[in-house]
Structure 1
Amino acid sequence: MTEPKIILTVNPGSTSTKIAVFADETRLFERKVDHSAADLAPFDTIGDQFQMRKAAIVAALKAEGFDLGTLAAVAGRGGKLPPLARGAYLVNDDMVAFLRHRPIDQHASNLGALIAHDIAEPLGIPSFIYDAVVVDEMEDIARFSGVPELTRRASCHVLNMRAMAIKVLRRDGLRLEDANVVVCHMGGGVTATVISGGRMIDVLTDEEGPFSPERAGRVPCRQLVDLCFSGDYDRKSATKLMRGVGGLVAYLGTNSALEVEARIDAGDAEAELVYRAMAYQIAKGIGELSTVVMGKVDRIVLTGAIAHSKRMADMVSARVAFIAPVEIVPGENELEALAAGTLRVLRGEETPNVFVAPPRARPAAEIRRVEEASRA
């Protein structure tokens, strides 16, 4: 009998870092390492937090009595990189340099690969990211928005969505590559995707699909333009209206689905209508994506934290069950998904991709100088 593969998974968030250790598919332990406001205050950027967060993780592992020398691999949450293919990427020097010196955005997930690499390299073991937030496999036809200057982009809860689709299908003896699955992640933001032939060929992002606890989702565009030019909002406040204080927060003053359900149970008719409207929009989004594969959907998967709500899951399922069987797999499950993907690589079931950093864009002024020189 072969020894189990011991895998450390690292998922940095804005004010905490979640870690877990797995032996093959079995979770040995999981910890949430909190980073207080005082911990974060000295750092100007997310990247500057690297050493502090890594030290906190190593300390948490030491407190568990865990021996880093037993690890076979370390997996970190994929950060804001250029668009990637699905699956695993080996964390290499190109990726480390890109995340350290050319980050696309200040996002905590950027630290996932850096921490994983820094722990793994001295041990002589590989480090990976898996299904990064920037996975983009959309078909060309899906990129049209109706305005050439506005291109639809893939942005969703890729890691959890693909992992839960794989999990559901494997339980039924099916492969993701041989099925059509619509997956909806219901959390602080709601995103959805249709997976066909293993590829996420279309996506509803959290700004063009259903409203959610904190985000407005798709809104009437002419009214949005009028609102932005009303003089009542600047760029920052208008953005916050769409992302941060939209959705349930805007209608009911809370981002807590549990609080909304308690208000419904207490007889709050407005809370019930708003909550049903959110379920209605989620179901519409699932129906919309089902048309991409001509309605030939094998499974619908509901996941994310709000999938724990039987009330919400039942309301959505009632509207979409005619399309395909609905599977409820609640939770965010990122740590499990990182471990499962890495394990498939270690077992030789998947081949990791190799990250190659794109060339640096040349400054516009330099390009103009070259063009002027060539004309002269």
Structure 2
Amino acid sequence: MNCSKILVINPGSTSTKIAVYQGCESVFLKTLRHSSEQLAQFENISAQFEFRKETILSELIQADIEIDDFDAIVGRGGLVKPIESGVYEVNEPLKADLRKGVLGEHASNLGGLIADDIAKTIPNARAFIADPVVVDELEDVARVTGHPDMPRRSVFHALNQKAVAKNYAKAIDRKYEDINVIVAHLGGGISVGAHRKGKVIDVNNALDGYGPFSPERAGTLPTGALIDMCFSGKHTYEEMRKLVNGKGGMVAHLGTNQAHEVEAKAVAGDEHNMLILTAMAYQIAKTIGGCATVLKGEVDGIVITGGIAHDKTVIAYIKAMVDWIAPMKVYPGEDEMKALADNALSVLSGEVTCKVYQ
């Protein structure tokens, strides 16, 4: 058994999750909260680098965790250039793009930078990122839209989708690279991907594009009505961006992004809450059906994951619509920390070859 010691770093907008793994076992897990007052002193996310790094190191010291014997530090991958799925060793081109935020600024951009900086202080330690949201394995035909200036982009929950797809493959005694599976990640954003023989050949843009609406995101909208709203003079550019991502979906319909609250009201008899909840489930199932056509009906399984996978009403609705396609397996919640640790461990054990970012 590989007993490598791994530090996992997952920066979010107002928190930083850290974990220590000894081989496959988690021995320490902590969410470090950052107040708005603490973050307000920084001009941008890049400027938070030293603050977040020192907060992590201080927490490890307080927990009596030896820092100088880590074999690897793995950080959440950020908005770098579109890349294939896999584990990437942090190098200079990767660090440059994480600093620039070539596809946007997000706290996850700090993951690889902090991992590299800590690893440099430890003899023989290696720094990695794995399966960032910009993983792009789309087939060319899936990129084409009705206008050449607006091609489809691959932005989705790559880390968790890949992890649960591999878990499903193991559960049916198959290799991920040998099966076709549809994975639906149901969280604040919703992504539904068609995985064919180890590659996500089609997936909706879960950040600001299209697909099912979610607790916070509007998903696919009627284009004409959206254009009219943009030029109505009633909304600023920033407000329209928020309408699509942040104040869309359940927030727009019901004033909340808490799916479990919506389900509780729906089950208690609130007809409008039930309508919105089942409409979301309807759109998820419809997208799963679309992925089944992409895979030409050759589907070995449908996997549902993410926080909303705990919602029995949503799961029952989806199952009733898609059960004819393939067996459906539910992995509620998500475990990004373990997924990151497992990816690092796969490289340290020699099971997987590390990829080079260029």
TM-score normalised by structure 1 residue count = 0.92
Aligned to 1:360: none
Partner of 2:56: 57
| Distance across 1 between alignment mates of 2:297 and 2:2 | 44
Aligned to 1:243: 245
Q: Is 2:80–2:101's contact at 8 Å kept on the other side of the alignment? A: no
Give the superposition deviation at 1:166.
0.3
Once the 2 structures are TM-superposed, how far is the Cα of residue 253 of structure 1 from its aligned partner?
Answer: 1.0
Q: Deviations over 1:78-99 (max 9, x none)?
A: 0111111110000012212332
Paired residues for 1:318-337 under 5 Å: 318-337=320-339
User: Which ranges of structure 1 fall in alignment gaps of 5 or more residues?
Assistant: 357-376
1:282 counterpart = 2:281:
no
* TM-fit CA distance, 1:103: 4.3
Superimposed CA distance per residue, residues 153-192 of structure 1 (whole angstroms, 9 cap, x where no aligned partner) = 1010000100110011112211111000110110011111
1:148 and 1:203 map into 2 onto residues whose CA distance is 19
Q: What's the CA shift for 1:110?
A: 0.4
> For residue 42 of structure 1, what is the amino acid of its counterpart?
Q
CA shift for structure 1 position 234: 2.2
Partner of 2:232: 230
- Residue aligning to 1:361: none
Equivalent of residue 345 in structure 2, options 343, 347, 350: 343
What secondary structure, in the 3-state scheme, does the structure 1 residue paired with 2:182 have? Answer: strand
Residue type matched to 1:147 in 2? Answer: H
Unaligned runs of 5+ in 2: none
* 1:241-284 per-position Cα deviation (integer Å, ceiling 9, x unaligned): 11111111111111101111221133211101110100000000
- Report the number of matched residues: 355
Number of the residue aligned with 1:264? 266
Instruction: Report % sequence identity.
Output: 46
CA deviation after TM superposition for structure 1 residue 134, in Å: 1.0
Residues 258 and 3 (structure 1 numbering): CA distance in 2 closer, same or farther, change over 3 Å?
closer
SS at match of 1:353: coil
Aligned letter for 1:177? Answer: E
Q: What code does the residue aligned with 1:136 have?
A: D
Query: Structure 1 CA distance, aligned partners of 2:282 and 2:9?
Result: 35
Residue 367 of structure 1 corresponds to which residue in structure 2? none
Residue 67 of structure 2 corresponds to which residue in structure 1?
68
Distance 2:318 2:283 in 1: 9
**CA–CA distance in 2 between the matches of 1:4 and 1:21?**
12
Q: Residues of 2 paired with 1:203 and 1:173: CA distance? A: 25
Which of the pair has more CA radius of gyration? 1
Counterpart in the other structure of 2:96: 97
Distance 1:316 1:12, change over 3 A: same
Letter in 2 for 1:288: G
In 1, the alpha carbon distance for the partners of 2:342 and 2:167 equals 10
**Counterpart-to-counterpart distance in 2, 1:265 and 1:314:** 13
Q: Are 2:2 and 2:349, in contact at CA under 8 Å, matched by a contact in 1?
A: no
The one-letter amino acid of 1:196's match is R
Q: Distance in 1 between matches of 2:323 and 2:112?
A: 39
Letter aligned with residue 286 of structure 2: K
Distance 1:332 1:27 in 2: 15
* Preserved contact between residue 75 and residue 128 of structure 2 (Cα < 8 Å): yes
Q: 1:101 to 1:254 in 2, by over 3 A?
A: closer
Cα deviations by residue, 1:16-37 (Å, 9 ceiling, x for unpaired): 0011111222111210001111
Aligned to 1:47: 46
Equivalence for 1:164: 164
Tell me, yes or no, if the aligned pair for 2:212 and 2:287 is still in contact at 8 Å.
Answer: yes
User: What are the equivalent positions in structure 2 for 1:209-220 lying under 5 Å apart?
Assistant: 209-220=211-222
In structure 1, what is the Cα distance between the partners aligned to 2:101 and 2:203? 27
The answer to whether the Cα contact below 8 Å between 2:73 and 2:127 also exists between their aligned partners in 1 is yes
Amino acid at match of 2:58: A
TM-score, length basis structure 2: 0.96
Inter-CA distance 91–298: structure 2 relative to 1 (3 Å threshold):
same
1:254 aligned partner, one-letter code: T
Q: Residues 169-208 of structure 1: matches in 2 within 5 Å?
A: 169-206=169-206, 207-208=209-210
Shift in Å, 1:340: 0.9
Residue 9 of structure 1 aligns to a residue whose secondary structure is: strand
* Corresponding residue for residue 78 of structure 2: 79
- Give the match for residue 252 of structure 1: 254
Per-residue CA deviations over 1:321-343 (Å, capped at 9, x if unaligned) read 11111111111211111011111
